[in-house]
């Protein structure tokens, strides 16, 4: 088997949530570059239109659907639109996410709910909707959830985020256990730090600069560092991998600090 064939996604329809910025843009580009027809999802329509234009410019096939991942009606509408355009979604990348900066003692209930709704509840409900449709279509499917090394370690000021990401790791295992025998593999990627809109201010702070010195590979993640993990878990190259969370963090978790 040649590598290019193992990772070929030309018979796949890939839906990427949070495709309007950061990691999600790259995920969509990489999936499209390897043959998948791609469905971009996020709330900012203008940003999605720009990403769509770039992917089409590079020869990809893509639609953009404006949707909030916490809105179940919008979720169903998104899968319907994807099916009308390309047929059933066979790769789902649950990437949309939000962060917060409160210490536990000050964390408002609204922030706890916003982070858990987006980073954990939506991952479950979008996975459930995708799996129902994959099974109904008797299609082999792959779900890739974007967790975080904060699903394993914790830092101060990220309580709700870390709890949600730990939930994603366990959700991934639980769904894999129930769905793999029906042809739906469920895996996750736990990235270390990548500078994006979610954390730019933090990573550029003194604390961020200090943190980079503790990463064994010696830098934060950059564009392309998750391409291999994503392609492995979405394609036939990962046909026997399910329930796994692949840590891609330059070794940072080995030395994760608590402050």
Out of 34, 70, 234, 244, the only residue in the binding site for ligand NAP (CB under 6 A) is 70
Q: Quick one: which segment of 6-14, 16-24, 135-143, 239-247 binds ligand NAP (CB under 6 A)?
A: 16-24
Q: Which two tokens stand for residue 242?
A: 């399910």
Alpha helix (H) residue ranges in the chain: 3-6, 22-33, 45-57, 72-86, 109-116, 122-136, 159-179, 200-203, 206-212, 227-234
161 as an active site residue: the answer is yes
Reference 176, options 137, 131, 139, 133; nearest CA is 131
Kindly tell me which of 71 and 83 has the beta carbon lying closer to ligand NAP.
71
CB of 237 to ligand NAP, least distance (A): 22
CA atoms of 201 and 203, how far apart (whole Å): 6
Is the four-CA dihedral 142, 22, 118, 77 of positive or negative sign? negative
- Assess 20 for contact with ligand NAP (CB under 6 A): yes
Q: Judging by DSSP bridges, how do beta strands 141-146 and 61-66 pair with one another?
A: unpaired
- Assess 145 for contact with ligand NAP (CB under 6 A): no
Phi, psi dihedrals of residue 148, rounded to the nearest 5°: -175, 160
Out of 141, 191, 238, 250, the only residue in the binding site for ligand NAP (CB under 6 A) is 191
Mask of contacts with ligand NAP, 103-142, x by CB under 6 A?
Answer: ---------------x------------------------
- Assess 96 for contact with ligand NAP (CB under 6 A): yes
- Assess 62 for contact with ligand NAP (CB under 6 A): no
Catalytic residue annotation: 161
Q: Which residues bind ligand NAP (CB under 6 A)?
A: 17-24, 42-44, 47, 68-70, 95-98, 118, 146, 148, 191, 193-194, 196-199
């Amino acid at each position: 088997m040649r590598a290019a064939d193992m990772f070929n996604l030309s018979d796949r329809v890939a839906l990427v949530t949070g495709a309007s910025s950061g990691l999600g843009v790259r995920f969509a580009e990489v999936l499209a570059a390897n043959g998948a027809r791609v469905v971009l999802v996020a709330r900012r329509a203008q940003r999605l239109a720009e990403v769509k234009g770039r992917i089409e410019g590079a020869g990809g096939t893509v639609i953009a659907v404006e949707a909030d991942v916490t809105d179940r009606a919008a979720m169903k509408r998104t899968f319907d639109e994807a099916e009308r355009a390309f047929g059933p979604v066979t790769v789902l990348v649950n990437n949309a996410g939000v962060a917060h900066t409160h210490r536990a003692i000050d964390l408002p209930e609204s922030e706890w709910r916003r982070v858990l709704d987006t980073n954990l509840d939506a991952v479950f409900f979008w996975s459930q909707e995708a799996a129902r449709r994959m099974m109904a279509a008797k299609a082999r499917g792959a779900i890739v959830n974007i967790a975080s090394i904060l699903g394993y370690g914790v830092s101060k000021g990220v309580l709700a985020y870390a709890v949600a990401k730990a939930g994603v790791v366990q959700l991934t295992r639980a769904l894999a256990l129930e769905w793999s025998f029906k042809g739906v593999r469920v895996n996750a990627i736990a990235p270390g730090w990548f500078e994006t809109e979610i954390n730019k201010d933090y990573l550029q702070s003194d604390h961020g600069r200090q943190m980079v010195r503790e990463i064994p590979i010696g830098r934060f993640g950059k564009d392309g560092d998750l391409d291999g993990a994503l392609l492995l878990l979405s394609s036939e190259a990962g046909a026997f991998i399910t329930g796994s969370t692949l840590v891609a963090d330059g070794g940072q978790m080995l030395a994760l600090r608590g402050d």
